[in-house]
Chains A and B, each alone.
Chain A
Amino acid sequence: MWEFWVRSLNASTIFTVAALGEIIGQRAGIMNVGVEGAMLFGATISFIVTKTTGSYLLGFLAGIAVGALIGLLHAFFSVTLGGDQVVNGMGIWILGFGLTAYIGYPYTGPLGLPRLPAINGLSPFFLLSLLLAAGIWFFLFKTHAGLKLRSVGENPSVAEVSGINVVRTRYASVMFSGALMGLAGSIYALDYNPVWNYNFLMGWGFIALALVFFSMWNPFLLLGGSILFGALWQVSLNPEALLPNIFSRYIWRTFPFVITVIVLILMSTKWFSSRWGAARPEALGLPYEK
């Protein structure tokens, strides 16, 4: 049982870090539906760097850096060019899907390095994800800078008038958001499952995106959601441990996706949105023009 929970928490780490990135961006009013693309970039680049240099540290740094660059690209499209954020995000996703399939292919296979240390099986990155969630919650709700960031996402015109640089705030938030997605991808590729295969995230980025809606843009609710999904994912990978001989292993693999859809439906009902919907940043998805 301990092993099951440890693996679930390790899986949840990746959802948490990626979705925390998305929360930061969305709190500043910029939606990035291309989480999966940014994560694929982070995962692939960090994997290649670590495999060629043998250094985990360089790999993580490269993953974070490429994530931030993807964030910069998204910010350029969404803030400077003011395009439709959904279209831009889809662009980020398909760019990541297509380009990493090509770039990473020669590196297909296992990383071939000793695994990163773990505490009784628990990845240290899980602890990092807890710290990040707490830190981002503190930043967003207890600091002046966090208040500024949120005001940009709620009402950019008013924020601008009160002396906040909307463009700069949004750029910074979206780049930081991309960096976290890149980090999440790196954790997946270097720690959770260090075997490169094309499109190997299999929709984790989209689940992270769904978790943001689920979290009501609150890092702590997000943490709970991530752990739930991490556990579901583990059940679907090793169903025999809990519920033997019901479905084939392929059918079990559909479970996290089925549950994501069910959770999304519950969250979109009137009952749910009238209770919690007010947390949605007011200016989310809207381009800002002076």
Chain B
Amino acid sequence: MNIAGYKIKLEKKTSFSGLEAAALSVLAVVVALFLVGFIFLQAGVDPAKGYAEIFSYAFINSFGVPLTINRAIFLLLCTFAFILPMRAGLWNIGMAGQLYAGALAAFGVAYAFGARTNPDVPAGIVLPLMILAAMAGGGLMGLIPGFLKGKFNTNEIVVTMMLNFIAFWVTAHMIKEGGPFMGSGGEGEGFKLPPVLQPGLFLGMPFTIWFALGLTALLQFVFTKTRIGYEIRSFGASPAAARYAGVDPFKISVLVFVAGGVIAGLAGYHYFATVPGLFKIPKNYGDFGDLAFYGIICGLISQGNPLAAIPLAVLFGGLTSGGRFVQGKLQLGFGIDYAMLGVLMIILVAFQFFFRYRVVFKKEKEA
């Protein structure tokens, strides 16, 4: 193509710098948010005002900020659950199912100690057990696609998606219509944890933030400094070459999915058992499963980099909580956060192209 004496060419990238990747990621987010602005326009809201409302609620308002933090921790955990398999070239879209499983296991421990009816359970034992159970529940849920992928090469996308629905309905069974975890209100939600099992806040934040930050450091270390991290990355880059170099595909697949599931299980524990005002599996638990899909967005934009995932989790935690808020305030339709999810995803897909190609402008030589 020729424009104004310049020849425009596409060149395949052989390498690109971290800075270039970061710039492209930021650009992708900006383009997506710009497009979402048209949704505001179509709903009769000035996009600048809409975004101003969203950001001020999410990052300044004293009601919004804690909500943003809770969601950011949740999203960061979901992102890690996604990027562990992603670095190995595998797709975990089963964060929703894994976090339901984690939450069910955690509340199962509380239930086993009689916390549903007895407010005086030994918190020093039950609380740690709940956390371990959440990790085990999520991990077991992750083991299924990991084992099947490693052993039979079963398509992990379909399996994790099916498990999402299975866990969704099992949760409904447990908390609704006389299920064992049903709350006393009879409103189709889970029982509430007694006060001794409600962990306090640390600087206004759930203590699970330490899990999220600790895992950031751990994953960064594993990916960059350890042999297993190297094996995961090389398997992701080229399964055939990695196998030739002695990497065991079964081990990698089981490992990344179980570890991802464990982290997603923690995300379930985090939202349902440590966020003030909840302390139960709520009626609308499905919304949190949907929110978990933002983990895919954060994972793809961060290119699987755990450190880069932090600002993204904060941004999308804020955008989704603020989005919910402006819906009510500016009379937007329901689901602006869902619309944003869709637009972000498709823009990211389009931007893949720029990660592989470089647009070059060359001055045409005088004939």
Q: Interface residues, chain A, CB within 8 Å of chain B?
A: 33, 73, 77, 81, 83-84, 86-88, 90-92, 94-99, 101-103, 105-106, 198-199, 202-203, 206, 209-210, 213, 248, 250-251, 253-254, 257-258, 260-261, 264-265, 268-269
Interface string of B3-31 (1 = CB under 8 A from A): 00000000000000000000000000000
Q: Nearest 4 A-B pairs (CB), nearest first? A: A98-B342, A91-B349, A102-B339, A250-B173
B153: chain A residues at CB < 8 Å are 268
The contact of B177 among A84, A248, A254, by CB within 8 Å, is A248
Q: Jot down 15 A-B pairs with beta carbons below 8 A, ordered by A.
A: A83-B349, A94-B341, A94-B342, A95-B343, A98-B339, A102-B342, A199-B290, A203-B161, A203-B164, A210-B158, A250-B176, A257-B163, A257-B166, A261-B148, A264-B158
The contact of A86 among B157, B297, B339, by CB within 8 Å, is B157
The contact of B333 among A95, A102, A206, A269, by CB within 8 Å, is A102
- Bound: A204/B338 CA distance, A: 20
Please name the residue on chain B nearest to A202 by beta carbon. Answer: B165
- Bound: A96/B342 CA distance, A: 7
Residue from the set B153, B177, B338 with the largest chain A CB neighbour count within 10 Å: B338
Interface SS, A side: helix
- Bound: A120/B152 CA distance, A: 44
Q: State which residues 262-314 of B face A: CB under 8 Å.
A: 290, 293, 296-297, 300
- Beyond A97-B293, A265-B148, 12 additional contacts (C-beta under 8 Å) are A81-B352, A91-B348, A94-B341, A94-B342, A95-B345, A105-B333, A105-B335, A203-B161, A209-B158, A254-B169, A258-B162, A261-B163
Evaluate whether A98 and B169 lie within 8 angstroms (CB atoms) in the complex, with A248-B179, A265-B152 already known. no
B95: chain A residues at CB < 8 Å are none
Q: Interface residues, chain B, CB within 8 Å of chain A?
A: 39, 91, 93, 144, 148, 152-155, 157-159, 161-166, 169-170, 172-173, 176-177, 179, 290, 293, 296-297, 300, 333-336, 338-343, 345-346, 348-350, 352-353, 356
- Taking a contact as CB atoms under 8 Å apart, the answer to whether B352 and A87 are in contact is yes
Interface SS, B side: helix
Please name the residue on chain A nearest to B159 by beta carbon. Answer: A261
- Bound: A240/B338 CA distance, A: 36
- Bound: A71/B166 CA distance, A: 29
Please name the residue on chain B nearest to A264 by beta carbon. Answer: B154
Closest approach, in angstroms, between the C-beta of B239 and any C-beta of chain A? 14
- Taking a contact as CB atoms under 8 Å apart, the answer to whether A97 and B341 are in contact is yes
- Taking a contact as CB atoms under 8 Å apart, the answer to whether A86 and B342 are in contact is no
- Taking a contact as CB atoms under 8 Å apart, the answer to whether A91 and B346 are in contact is yes
- Taking a contact as CB atoms under 8 Å apart, the answer to whether A84 and B339 are in contact is no
The contact of A213 among B155, B172, B341, by CB within 8 Å, is B155
B342: chain A residues at CB < 8 Å are 94-99, 102
- Taking a contact as CB atoms under 8 Å apart, the answer to whether A95 and B346 are in contact is yes
The contact of A102 among B336, B345, B353, by CB within 8 Å, is B336
- Bound: A88/B155 CA distance, A: 16
Evaluate whether A97 and B333 lie within 8 angstroms (CB atoms) in the complex, with A90-B296, A257-B162 already known. no
A91: chain B residues at CB < 8 Å are 345-346, 348-349
- Bound: A93/B93 CA distance, A: 12
Please name the residue on chain A nearest to B357 by beta carbon. Answer: A81
- Bound: A99/B339 CA distance, A: 4
- Bound: A92/B345 CA distance, A: 8
Evaluate whether A98 and B340 lie within 8 angstroms (CB atoms) in the complex, with A248-B173, A254-B165 already known. yes
Please name the residue on chain B nearest to A81 by beta carbon. Answer: B353
Evaluate whether A83 and B353 lie within 8 angstroms (CB atoms) in the complex, with A206-B161, A254-B166, A254-B169 already known. yes
- Bound: A261/B161 CA distance, A: 10
- Taking a contact as CB atoms under 8 Å apart, the answer to whether A250 and B340 are in contact is no
The contact of A94 among B293, B333, B335, by CB within 8 Å, is B293
A98: chain B residues at CB < 8 Å are 335, 338-343, 345
- Taking a contact as CB atoms under 8 Å apart, the answer to whether B162 and A99 are in contact is no
- Taking a contact as CB atoms under 8 Å apart, the answer to whether A77 and B339 are in contact is no
Evaluate whether A203 and B352 lie within 8 angstroms (CB atoms) in the complex, with A90-B296, A94-B341, A261-B159 already known. no
Closest approach, in angstroms, between the C-beta of B359 and any C-beta of chain A? 13
Please name the residue on chain A nearest to B348 by beta carbon. Answer: A91
- Bound: A75/B152 CA distance, A: 30
A73: chain B residues at CB < 8 Å are 346
Closest approach, in angstroms, between the C-beta of A69 and any C-beta of chain B? 13
- Taking a contact as CB atoms under 8 Å apart, the answer to whether B91 and A90 are in contact is yes
A250: chain B residues at CB < 8 Å are 169-170, 172-173, 176-177, 179
